[in-house]
């Protein structure tokens, strides 16, 4: 628009020198339109940049040349932040299994996205960068669960469950929630903490042992995770029933098994079988939901319910 108007002004000058005013009105309209477009663009760029960096004198921004470095600086920061999140994802590992397939698929997705983001030249951004940096992307939610699960409220975990499980499967979500996954640097910190514990005097160790409860902290944590998963699975069941995607009798076996898990959880210290069974239930619920959204199956189900 600027180049086009510059050419028009050159032509207008030539006409004015001859006393011709025919282009004057059209040129005035183009100038007003350019000014309006620029003010809208300036407002949008400042609004986009403000959350990420201070803009002390917005009135001093009077040209495209001053807008471009502002946009470039923000996009550089966003790109670096997104890559940092993906680097964290890439350092996640399983405590016990070196070849945990759900995690391998997740790491592969993170690696591919990392390459795609790096290949987009600034000031442009890959379309998924903003979702990663604002924490709404499945990979960002996954790494936050691995890192902060101990401090997350149940509502937050329930809110991100479908996003993570939908992108990478229930097994990965459960492994992260159970603390089976760690970020590389966390592993180092835990090793350092254990080393410090070993270096403590024997009298301190004896004192700590004396006040250790009858159940280990790990058992208590695993029991709480089981309860959280049972609660979230119950919410999933209620959602399916409310939306009439399944019949109540189809879920009777699942509900009975979950009630047994809940009733027996205080008599157990090993919950591996419960977690395995619960994973099977959740996979079956997802399959039911997917089938229900198949138009033909849904029509058959609706007709069956009417009968």
Mean pLDDT, residues 94-122 taken together: 91
Residues 179 and 233 in one domain: no
The parent domain of residue 299 ranges over 217-307
Cβ contacts of residue 68 below 8 Å, gap of 6+?
Answer: 123
Give bridge partners of residue 278 from the DSSP assignment.
Answer: none
How does pLDDT run across 230-268, given as a tens digit for each residue? Answer: 877 887 788 888 877 888 888 888 888 888 888 787 777
Of 212, 229, 250, the residue at which a domain comes to its end is 212
How does pLDDT run across 24-75, given as a tens digit for each residue? Answer: 877 888 888 888 888 898 888 888 888 777 777 888 888 888 888 888 888 8
Please count the structural domains in the chain. Answer: 2
Q: Are 125 and 114 in contact (CB under 8 A)?
A: no
> At 199, is the pLDDT very low, low, confident or very high (cuts 50, 70, 90)?
very low
Residue 81 lies in a domain: yes
pLDDT value of position 18: 79
Structure-derived torsion over alpha carbons of residues 300, 304, 306, 307, reported in degrees to the nearest 10: 140
Q: Work out the mean pLDDT of the chain and round it to a whole number.
A: 79
Helix, strand or coil, per DSSP, at residue 181: strand
Beta strand 92-94 with 181-183 is antiparallel
Q: Say whether the peptide bond before residue 56 is cis (omega within 30 degrees of 0).
A: no
The whole-angstrom separation of Cα 19 and Cα 27 is 16
pLDDT value of position 256: 87
> At 211, is the pLDDT very low, low, confident or very high (cuts 50, 70, 90)?
very low
Residues 272 and 204 in one domain: no
Residues 226 and 123 in one domain: no
pLDDT value of position 154: 83
């Amino acid at each position: 628009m600027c180049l086009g108007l510059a050419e028009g002004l050159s032509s207008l000058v030539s006409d004015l020198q001859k006393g011709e005013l025919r282009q004057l009105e059209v040129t005035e309209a183009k100038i007003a339109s350019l000014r309006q477009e620029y003010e809208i663009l300036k407002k949008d760029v400042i609004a986009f940049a403000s959350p990420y960096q201070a803009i002390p004198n917005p009135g001093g921004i009077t040209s495209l040349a001053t807008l471009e470095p502002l946009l470039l600086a923000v996009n550089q920061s966003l790109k670096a932040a997104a890559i940092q999140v993906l680097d964290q994802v890439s350092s996640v590992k399983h405590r016990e299994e070196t070849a945990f397939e759900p995690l391998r698929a997740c790491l592969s997705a993170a690696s591919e996205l990392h390459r795609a983001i790096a290949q987009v030249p600034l000031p442009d951004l890959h379309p998924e960068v903003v979702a990663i940096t604002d924490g709404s992307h499945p990979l960002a939610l996954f790494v936050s669960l691995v890192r902060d699960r101990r401090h997350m409220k149940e509502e937050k975990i329930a809110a991100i469950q479908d996003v993570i499980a939908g992108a990478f499967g229930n097994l990965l979500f459960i492994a992260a929630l159970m603390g089976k996954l760690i970020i590389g640097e966390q592993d180092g910190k835990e090793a350092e903490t254990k080393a410090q514990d070993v270096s403590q005097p024997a009298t301190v160790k004896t004192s700590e042992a004396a006040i250790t409860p009858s159940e280990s902290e790990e058992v208590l944590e695993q029991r709480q995770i089981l309860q959280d998963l049972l609660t979230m699975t119950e919410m999933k069941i209620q959602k399916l029933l409310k939306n009439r995607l399944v019949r109540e009798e189809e879920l009777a076996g699942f509900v009975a098994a979950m009630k047994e898990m809940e009733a027996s959880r205080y008599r157990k210290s090993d919950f591996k079988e419960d977690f395995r069974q619960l994973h099977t239930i959740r996979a079956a619920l997802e399959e039911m939901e997917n089938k229900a959204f198949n138009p033909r199956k849904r029509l058959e189900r609706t007709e069956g319910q009417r009968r």
